[in-house]
Amino acid sequence: MASMLLSRQLTCSLQQNCRLFACGHRLISQTAAKIDVDFDYDGPLMKTEVPGPRSRELMKQLNGIQNAEAVHFFCNYEESRGNYLVDVDGNRMLDLYSQISSIPIGYSHPSLIKLLQQPQNLVLVGPHGQLMEINSSWSGQSTFVNRPALGILPPENFAEKLKESLLSVAPKGLQQVITMSCGSCSNENAFKAIFMWYRNKERGNNNVTKEELETCMINQAPGCPDYSILSFMGGFHGRTMGCLATTHSKAIHKLDIPSLDWPIAPFPRLQYPLEEFVKENQQEEARCLEEVEDLIVKYRKKKRIVAGIIIEPIQSEGGDNHASDDFFKKLRDIARKHGCAFLVDEVQTGGGCTGKFWAHEHWGLDDPTDMVSFSKKMMTGGFFHKEEFRPNAPYRIFNTWLGDPAKNLLLAEVINVIKREDLLNNATHAGKALLAGLLDLQTRYPHLISRARGRGTFCSFDTPNDATRNKLIAVARNKGVVLGGCGDRSIRFRPTLIFKDHHAHLFLNIFSDILADFK
């Protein structure tokens, strides 16, 4: 199957896809050069409505085992390629949501398939089914077969692979990294590293008292200090218990779960278009920053010291809420002033979709963040941190897997592809085409689209309400475009990094027709 993929060269002439709209007229926007796409399809192809009959049958089956009501449709990942997701009914859709923003370089990327075809990554099977010729000098195939407990028994090349993958894209100033299995797990452990750092700062030495050792066993202070993490209304940092105390995007995430009394600051609600509301937006950001400082002081008084602040560069699940670079710089200053760790959650924004590898690089901070958590497009979870946040003893930040070396191997190749194919600049470029088209649609359909916004391909717009939003997503899906919602009325774009200008134009054409017919 893999070699078939590799050998298939699809050449798509983009002329027919590259129409743009201006002033209500359909125009040929670009005389696009022919582009050779060696594994992408050249457009959506719909056979049934989605979910189709096979998907519905499978949904019923799965729902007998677990609550599967969230399932949109079932996928055929063997047939999915590039920017196109194929479902089990044979529908091929342009995927602008990419598994909740977690497919970095498209489906079945030839470079990843090639990686898995390298002899050292294969378990060779002989004519009688016997395992053959395992190359013991390099632990390739065993990386996929034998998942290690990394904290105690790492493979020989573990440090080398971390350098090749994660450390090669480490954010400025953060040279230490710990891998984890998912985004929640990463934030959860980043919080713990912050608390340990804070307590050590307070102690001034490493001498833990007997009382601390005893009280921590019964969930009491001083062993379990009443520290807190400040988060923002509308933020999403995961669903595990600690993270959930910092997640405030939707009630469905939080209902019935006990939580912690940790401070929650307002996140700016910017008015669009930004250039028309400069003063109002500055005031709004100043109000939120003031509230952050007030909360830090208030929580210190009530002995729930704010040890750290967590924030997304763009609030994603909460509705694609942006704030200015200046806001984040000032927030970083506030964190430093009050001795709080500054943790930037790049689980959704990281990996290049905003046009920089890390979205927070846009801010131009003088003093780097203290920690950056990641997952999704990075294929493995984890967090980068400054040296001072290094756990002061083994087993303090620890679990069985601590990530997965197989994912590091894939990530190293993903990073190669990002560099080789200049995919950060591609995200900037394709994002501009997408946002320009959205702004144009917004002027033509102001009753359906507002607040078009974005950085790189990390774009979104608002619809009038939840029902309209959901209907637009459903109609688009039946026309061969997978979109995602966020917040209470937004539609977000989370395409892969190989989403190009012509994909943007293709989408804009389809969506323009949808809007013209929308009732």
* Minimum CB distance to ligand PSZ smaller for 183 or for 480: 183
CA distances from 107 to 47, 104, 113, 341, 392 (A): 20, 9, 10, 37, 41
Instruction: Look up residue 440 and give its amino acid.
Output: D
Measured between alpha carbons, how far is 419 from 164 in angstroms, rounded to an integer?
Answer: 13
**How many residues in the chain?**
519
Window contacting ligand PSZ (CB under 6 A); options: 51-59, 134-142, 311-319, 326-334:
311-319
In this structure, is the dihedral angle defined by the CA atoms of residues 191, 192, 196 and 202, taken in order, positive or negative?
positive
Q: How far is the CB of 255 from ligand PSZ (least distance, A)?
A: 13
Of the candidate residues 94, 229, 347, 359, the single one contacting ligand PSZ (CB under 6 A): 347
Give me the catalytic one of 21, 73, 191, 236. Answer: 236
* Minimum CB distance to ligand PSZ smaller for 43 or for 266: 266
Contact at 8 Å (CB) between 373 and 383?
Answer: yes
Q: Tokens 């983009």 belong to which residue?
A: 14
Q: Is 179 among the residues known to form the active site?
A: no
Q: Is 48 among the residues known to form the active site?
A: no
Show Cβ contacts of residue 28 under 8 Å, excluding neighbours closer than 6 positions: 15, 18, 19, 20
Contact at 8 Å (CB) between 314 and 321?
Answer: yes
Window contacting ligand PSZ (CB under 6 A); options: 30-38, 78-86, 230-238, 329-337:
230-238
Q: How far is the CB of 121 from ligand PSZ (least distance, A)?
A: 25
* Minimum CB distance to ligand PSZ smaller for 158 or for 383: 383
Of the candidate residues 103, 177, 182, 410, the single one contacting ligand PSZ (CB under 6 A): 182
Q: Does 460 bind ligand PSZ (CB under 6 A)?
A: no
Give me the catalytic one of 11, 209, 400, 443. Answer: 400
Of the candidate residues 110, 148, 183, 437, the single one contacting ligand PSZ (CB under 6 A): 183
* Minimum CB distance to ligand PSZ smaller for 80 or for 187: 187
Q: Nearest residue to ligand PSZ, using CB?
A: 183
Q: Does 372 bind ligand PSZ (CB under 6 A)?
A: no
Q: How far is the CB of 64 from ligand PSZ (least distance, A)?
A: 23
Give me the catalytic one of 345, 404, 440, 462. Answer: 345
* Minimum CB distance to ligand PSZ smaller for 237 or for 500: 237
Window contacting ligand PSZ (CB under 6 A); options: 114-122, 178-186, 209-217, 411-419:
178-186
* Minimum CB distance to ligand PSZ smaller for 351 or for 431: 351
Q: How far is the CB of 399 from ligand PSZ (least distance, A)?
A: 14
* Minimum CB distance to ligand PSZ smaller for 163 or for 239: 239
Query: Which of the residues 231 through 290 are near ligand PSZ (CB under 6 A)?
Result: 236-239
Of the candidate residues 55, 139, 142, 348, the single one contacting ligand PSZ (CB under 6 A): 348
Q: How far is the CB of 70 from ligand PSZ (least distance, A)?
A: 8
Of the candidate residues 312, 320, 370, 501, the single one contacting ligand PSZ (CB under 6 A): 312
Phi, then psi, of 343 in degrees rounded to 5:
-110, 120
Contact at 8 Å (CB) between 40 and 106?
Answer: yes
First vs last Cα of the chain: how many Å apart?
43
C-beta atoms surrounding 425 within 10 Å: 12
Question: In sequence order, which ranges of 168-246 are alpha helices (DSSP H)?
Answer: 183-203, 210-216, 241-244
Contact at 8 Å (CB) between 243 and 187?
Answer: yes
Measured between alpha carbons, how far is 82 from 224 in angstroms, rounded to an integer?
Answer: 48
Of the candidate residues 29, 121, 139, 184, the single one contacting ligand PSZ (CB under 6 A): 184
In this structure, is the dihedral angle defined by the CA atoms of residues 407, 412, 415 and 416, taken in order, positive or negative?
negative
Measured between alpha carbons, how far is 396 from 300 in angstroms, rounded to an integer?
Answer: 26
- The count of residues interacting with ligand PSZ (CB under 6 A) is 16
* Minimum CB distance to ligand PSZ smaller for 29 or for 184: 184
Residues 86-105: x where in contact with ligand PSZ by CB under 6 A, - otherwise, as a string: --------------x-----
- The single-letter DSSP state of residue 369 is P
Measured between alpha carbons, how far is 24 from 393 in angstroms, rounded to an integer?
Answer: 65
Query: Which of the residues 480 through 519 are near ligand PSZ (CB under 6 A)?
Result: none
* Minimum CB distance to ligand PSZ smaller for 142 or for 249: 249
Q: Is 457 among the residues known to form the active site?
A: no
Q: Does 375 bind ligand PSZ (CB under 6 A)?
A: yes
| Beta pairing, strands 481-482 & 92-95 | parallel
Q: Give the residue from 156, 93, 151, 145 showing the smallest Cα distance to 121.
A: 145
Phi, then psi, of 213 in degrees rounded to 5:
-65, -35
Q: Is 345 among the residues known to form the active site?
A: yes
- The single-letter DSSP state of residue 45 is B
Give me the catalytic one of 376, 377, 407, 500. Answer: 376
- The helix (run of H) or strand (run of E) holding residue 217 is none
DSSP string for 53-114: HHHHHHHHHHHTTS--TT----B-TTT-BBTEEEBTTS-EEEESSHHHHT-SS-BT-HHHHH
Of the candidate residues 40, 345, 370, 404, the single one contacting ligand PSZ (CB under 6 A): 345
Of the candidate residues 87, 317, 370, 501, the single one contacting ligand PSZ (CB under 6 A): 317
* Minimum CB distance to ligand PSZ smaller for 42 or for 317: 317
Q: How far is the CB of 317 from ligand PSZ (least distance, A)?
A: 5
**Which residues lie near ligand PSZ (CB under 6 A)?**
100, 182-184, 187, 236-239, 312, 316-317, 345, 347-348, 375
What residues are labeled active site?
236, 345, 376, 400
